[in-house]
């Protein structure tokens, strides 16, 4: 059964529907990240009210606590977390990177997102899988392709991701090739395990890799396209320019009719540029992480673009910690219809942040998530009306 249907295209951008056992997902769309089976500071009811259609949970973290067996006993993630919509889980593959090479090389999702210094890695990668040292208590855990799929099935996810080895952006061609070959073997094992363990309605994504090397990216795209019904684009990147090239290389080498998910990406600029290149789904912790740190999204029509003081142009955010907002009677974004913007001022948000009030985290997170999810709705509408370029230019070319 083909669960994904493209409804309309505007050049390479497209509007579609992805059907799951727990409801339909309109694409392109943004998936809020609930690492521990909870989107930080936001309840399932709030998620529904702000327009979220699907959430993502983290297999590695849930393996550590409370454990997939317990969640399965509780009826799976949907009942456990009180969310009746679609759920996606990642494979734990990003933790292979973040607790390994990312620490060792001092890099993040993008090369320029460097840590202050390299640190000892907390895992060991072998042909069979990965031995983790828990970041919680130092205990040892093993995660491999078969266990990753078994865990995700037990969690009850609708959308499942094959186990992969994420290469470092500092890797040479030979090192990247070695990592890619390992990923391909792990993905084949993931597919075999999925066929054995999967429940009705679950969909498995293969993950493309290959670093910054076009021929490896194309090889990976063709491999995943051959074996999987859904395609996720993985990897850490040198910069945004490289990311967009990776998307182009991949999209040009895969089937038109399969859903495409860009893992771990979700800033405003990236949403526009990658939807333009044919991406359907995104997930990222940035909206809630930014909210907790005082970084709140604003649109080009908010009036903040005349002065860069307190405004971070490239990220479409204001820094609510800035003293200039202590007497600001405006909402965070005058164009936003979220609970926060329709009821509270920047001055109040500044006060809540400055005094460490818990309410700040709830209101700020609701705003940032609503902002991104509503933007994706506007993007879908613009594609349907063949006006995507007009909408993008009104944001990117401010």
Catalytic annotation, residues: 90, 283
Say if residues 92 and 234 touch (Cβ distance below 8 Å).
Answer: no
DSSP string, 130-178: EEEE-TTT--EEEEEHHHHHHHHHHHT-SEEE----PPPTT--HHHHHH
Q: Beta partners for 260?
A: 231
Cα 259 off chain centre by:
15
Cα distance between residue 57 and residue 212, in whole Å? 28
Which of 154, 264, 159, 147 shows the shortest CA–CA distance to 202? 159
Would you say 13 and 276 are in contact if contact means Cβ atoms under 8 Å apart?
yes
* HSE-CB for 334 with a 13 A CA cutoff: 8
**Two structure tokens written together for 346:** 């920047």
Please, how many CA atoms are within 13 Å of residue 361, restricted to the half-sphere of its CB? Answer: 11
End-to-end Cα, the chain, rounded Å: 43
Please state the length of the chain. Answer: 398
């Amino acid at each position: 059964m083909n669960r994904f249907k493209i409804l309309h295209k505007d050049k390479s951008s497209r509007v579609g529907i992805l059907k799951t056992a727990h409801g339909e997902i309109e694409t392109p769309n943004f998936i809020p990240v609930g690492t521990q089976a909870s989107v930080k500071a936001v309840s399932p009811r709030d998620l529904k009210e702000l327009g979220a259609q699907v959430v993502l949970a983290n297999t590695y973290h849930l393996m550590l606590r409370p454990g997939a067996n317990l969640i399965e006993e509780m009826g799976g993630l949907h009942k456990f977390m009180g969310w009746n919509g679609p759920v996606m889980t990642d494979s734990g593959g990003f933790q292979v990177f973040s607790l390994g090479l990312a620490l060792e090389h001092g890099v993040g999702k993008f090369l320029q997102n460097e840590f202050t210094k390299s640190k000892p890695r907390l895992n060991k990668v072998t042909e069979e899988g990965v031995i983790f040292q828990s970041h919680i208590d130092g205990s040892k855990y093993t995660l491999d392709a078969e266990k990753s799929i078994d865990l995700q099935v037990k969690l009850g996810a609708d959308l499942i991701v094959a186990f992969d080895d994420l290469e470092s952006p500092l890797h040479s061609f030979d090192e990247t090739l070695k990592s890619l070959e390992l990923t391909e073997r792990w993905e084949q094992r993931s597919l075999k395990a999925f066929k054995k363990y999967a429940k009705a309605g679950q969909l498995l994504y293969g993950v493309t890799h290959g670093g910054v090397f076009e021929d490896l990216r194309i090889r990976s795209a063709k491999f995943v396209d051959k074996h999987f019904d859904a395609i996720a684009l993985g990897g850490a990147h040198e910069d945004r320019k490289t990311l967009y090239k990776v998307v182009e290389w991949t999209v040009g080498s895969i089937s038109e009719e399969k859903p495409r998910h860009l893992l771990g990406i979700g800033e405003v600029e990236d949403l526009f540029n990658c939807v333009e290149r044919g991406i359907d789904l995104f997930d990222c912790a940035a909206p809630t992480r930014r909210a907790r740190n005082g970084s709140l999204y604003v649109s080009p029509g908010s009036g903040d673009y005349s002065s860069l003081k307190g405004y971070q142009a490239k990220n479409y955010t204001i820094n609510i910690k800035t003293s200039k907002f202590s007497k600001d009677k405006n909402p965070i974004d005058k164009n936003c219809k979220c609970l926060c913007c329709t009821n509270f001022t920047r001055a109040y948000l500044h006060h809540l942040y400055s005094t460490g009030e818990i309410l700040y985290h709830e209101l700020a997170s609701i705003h940032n998530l609503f902002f991104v999810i509503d933007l994706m709705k506007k993007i879908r509408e613009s594609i349907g009306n063949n006006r995507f370029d007009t909408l993008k230019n009104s944001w990117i070319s401010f």
